[in-house]
A and B are shown apart, each in its own frame.
Chain A
Amino acid sequence: QQQVKQSPQSLIVQKGGISIINCAYENTAFDYFPWYQQFPGKGPALLIAIRPDVSEKKEGRFTISFNKSAKQFSLHIMDSQPGDSATYFCAASKETSGSRLTFGEGTQLTVNP
């Protein structure tokens, strides 16, 4: 059973555009929602994360929007750059399970120059 569903599977954006990746979760016990970024030949690395006590978190060009009632959260990349081209994974975990993360399927983002 896939507890975190991610879309789209792939995304192509022009330089300077906004990239939006969406995730939906099922388990209401989840209380930590990170996004990981993975470049070819590298392991995933934490990009930004949010807890459900806030509806939005922004770090530079990256913003997480969180909708608790809809059980959805999304990653917005403003002013997308070719260097942002990577695979992005959303994930979720619950405090009682420590760092156990349930990952989405991943989105391959390509930002064209």
Chain B
Amino acid sequence: ETGVTQTPRHLVMGMTNKKSLKCEQHLGHNAMYWYKQSAKKPLELMFVYNFKEQTENNSVPSRFSPECPNSSHLFLHLHTLQPEDSALYLCASSQEGRGSNEQFFGPGTRLTVL
């Protein structure tokens, strides 16, 4: 295991539902990320948190709302999603400032929006 866990692993929701994805890292890292992975497309960086502060939001629609209550936990709150939001959502963590650029990924949440 990578030390990054994600729950749930699978999620099916309607367009009017509200749900949340959870990520937890056990590596003592200070940066966490949300990515969207769609078929035949590059991983799309959605949000970045450094020391619990959001440092990057790559023009993500407001129906995706991140929350980082501490350096070990990251949430992605979902509201009124569209079918095209169906994808694998990956969480990752890294240690900024240690000279290593390596990111450690969780297994992802497979999201299906009906």
C-alpha spacing A98/B99, complex, angstroms? 8
B101 touches A32 (CB 8 A): yes
Stretch at the interface among A13-21, A37-45, A52-60, A70-78: A37-45
B102 touches A43 (CB 8 A): no
| A69: interface (CB < 8 Å) | no
* A residues adjacent to B (C-beta < 8 A): 2, 4, 9, 32, 34, 36, 41-46, 49, 89, 93, 95, 98-106
From B41, B101, B108, contact of A101 by CB (8 A): B101
Residues of B within 8 A of A101 (CB): 43, 45, 101, 103
Residues of B within 8 A of A34 (CB): 101-102
Residues of A within 8 A of B76 (CB): none
Least CB distance from A10 to B in Å reads: 9
Least CB distance from B75 to A in Å reads: 17
Residues of B in contact with A, size category = 20 to 34
Least CB distance from A40 to B in Å reads: 10
Least CB distance from A11 to B in Å reads: 14
C-alpha spacing A36/B94, complex, angstroms? 15
B42 touches A105 (CB 8 A): yes
**B contacts with A: majority SS:** loop
| B85: interface (CB < 8 Å) | no
C-alpha spacing A17/B106, complex, angstroms? 31
- A100-B48 contact in complex given A34-B101, A43-B106, C-beta closer than 8 Å: yes
From A2, A45, A46, contact of B42 by CB (8 A): A2
| B46: interface (CB < 8 Å) | no
B40 touches A98 (CB 8 A): no
Least CB distance from A89 to B in Å reads: 7
